[in-house]
Amino acid sequence: MIENPVLRGFNADPSICRVGGDYYIATSTFEWYPGVQIHHSRDLVNWRLVARPLNRASQLDMRGNPDSCGVWAPCLSHADGKFWLVYTDVKRLDGAFKDAHNYIVTAEAIDGYWSDPIYVTSSGFDPSLFHDDDGRKWFTNMRWNHRPIGSGLNPAQDRFDGIEVQEWHPERGLLGEVTTIYTGTSLGLTEAPHLFKRNGWYYLTIAEGGTGYDHAVTMARSRKLHGPYETHPNQHLMTARFAPGNPIQRVGHGQYVETPEGEAFHSYLCGRPVQGPHGAFCAMGRETGLAKCMWVEDWLYLEGGGLVPPATLPGPARVPGPPTAHDLTNSLPAEFQWLRTPYPARIFQMTGQAMRLTGRESLGSWFEQALVARRQEDQAYHAETTILADPPNWQRAAGLTTYYNRHKFHAALITDEPQIGRCARIISCIGDPTEALTFTDPVPLPDGPITLSVKVDRASQQFFWAQGGAAQPLGPLLDASVISDEGGRGEHASFTGAFVGIVAYDLTGQGWSADFTRFAYHPAA
């Protein structure tokens, strides 16, 4: 079966393309480095991470980018014998300005060398590149309007000022005039344009309704690239906004693809909410699903009708995934990423015996953190790591963290306190934008390696510590719903998802280090 979501854990804004019998999905990575995840499949069921193409400073440097900025909504395509990847590096989230810079990189092989970026425009975000059948290329994005609300083409859209298109040439850049081809429906917040052509029609799929529970995929078509575009008879191709009890919510933002046999599919992002102490929350953030579709009178519909994509579809058997327990010795496990910096040697090194984290800035930094983590993929899981660390004072620490962003995290840390010595304690920030921290009482630790672990069960989590025996609870039961899009106090919803991983900091700036010898992540039975 195709079990949705097909890419579990934070994998938002899925752009899908097919080359022969191979399918590829590119997803957003925001402030996590390297930029953009690309998964490969030959059967639409079994997906494997094959590339993170934005992996050097000339392509992407996000130091200083606020939370939930960085790489938004990539578009992956294949034409002229190579892959084309369009992406945005967003430098501001809050306020009227967005500062969204759009680039294109190319590669002959999906897992090969990706070029340095070609800058295109900063007029908006969610860029896409359409290769027309006459060989011309067209660049589309939503246009951002920083002026007072209601000053744009569609007052209902607020700052989402319409979908614009302009011809683009690899050597000559943007050509001709910019044309606004679509301003959206009454749902508003029109973004994420993707163009494709079929039976003489130009089709435009977009996302609307924001990234929350009103999200939707809307469709329009025209006989001419520049319009006018008519909206789908149902307005939306898919949405869960009218089905609050459905286990898959926040359906929107995807792209069309056909199999070699002509079967129609459409990717979409989604969330799997569960109930917490403060309401529903999606710990995994926005994940990637696939819906099978059908054509009726040159309009696309979900197969079987309706607007809510099903949780399962017929398909081949799923092959077990890669191991989730690792000796951290010679190479970084593929599922791990770090934050913002294109210079990972400054924050970690593989020594052959351990992964050595060099403590840098705090858990609240936007610049250089030694925090290396993997996505939470399951509502309940157990993770653990073994640490060799002897911090000389309370300004240094290393440990295990469940992390969403700089104001939503729990961290079990080995540190040093006066009159106590080496000890473990938990530091939490529970969704407070002022970064107000809470601390548990320190627990003295013996000399030698320490194993820190965490058990997460939906809205609750518990840290433990051990040395050669049974694990002992560390601190109280914690609110795991904080580590989510919806978690925390006030309006702090974001766009990424929960991670679990290892961290070290040195607030003296001297580069104290700690060694991590193993890491394991296991879904709960």
Q: Which residues are identified as catalytic?
A: 368
Amino acid at 181: I
> Is 513 in a helix, a strand, or coil?
strand
Tell me the chain's radius of gyration from C-alpha atoms.
Answer: 23
DSSP 277: T
Q: What is the 3-state secondary structure (H, E, C) of 215-266?
A: CEEEEEEECCCCCCCEEEEEEEEEECCCCCCCCCEEEECCCEEECCCCCEEE
Query: Which element (helix H / strand E) includes 287?
Result: strand 287-296
Contact 287, 8 (CB under 8 A): yes
> Is 523 in a helix, a strand, or coil?
strand
> Is 316 in a helix, a strand, or coil?
coil
Burial status of residue 246 (CB atoms within 10 A of its CB: 0-12, 13-18, 19 or more): middle
> Is 159 in a helix, a strand, or coil?
coil
| DSSP secondary structure of 72-102 | EEEEEEEETTEEEEEEEEE---SSS---EEE
CA 225 vs CA 133, 160, 205, 403: distances in Å: 12, 21, 13, 44
CA 513 vs CA 289, 358, 366, 383, 444: distances in Å: 40, 4, 20, 22, 20
Angle 365-371-373 from CA coordinates, rounded to 5°: 130
Distance between CA atoms of residues 364 and 105, nearest Å: 31
Distance between CA atoms of residues 239 and 435, nearest Å: 35
Distance between CA atoms of residues 186 and 194, nearest Å: 19
Residue partners of 352: CB distance under 8 A and separation at least 6:
329, 330
Reported residue count of the chain is 525
Using DSSP bridges, classify how beta strands 230-239 and 256-258 pair: parallel, antiparallel or unpaired: unpaired
Other C-beta atoms closer than 10 Å to the C-beta of 199 total 7
Instruction: Give the residues across from 484 on adjacent strands.
Output: none
Contact 6, 288 (CB under 8 A): yes
Contact 266, 218 (CB under 8 A): no
Please state whether the peptide bond connecting residue 244 to the residue before it is cis, i.e. omega within 30 degrees of 0. Answer: no
Look up residue 28 and give its two tokens. Answer: 């957003």
Angle 54-58-59 from CA coordinates, rounded to 5°: 30
Closest Cα partner for 417 from 438, 396, 398, 435? 396
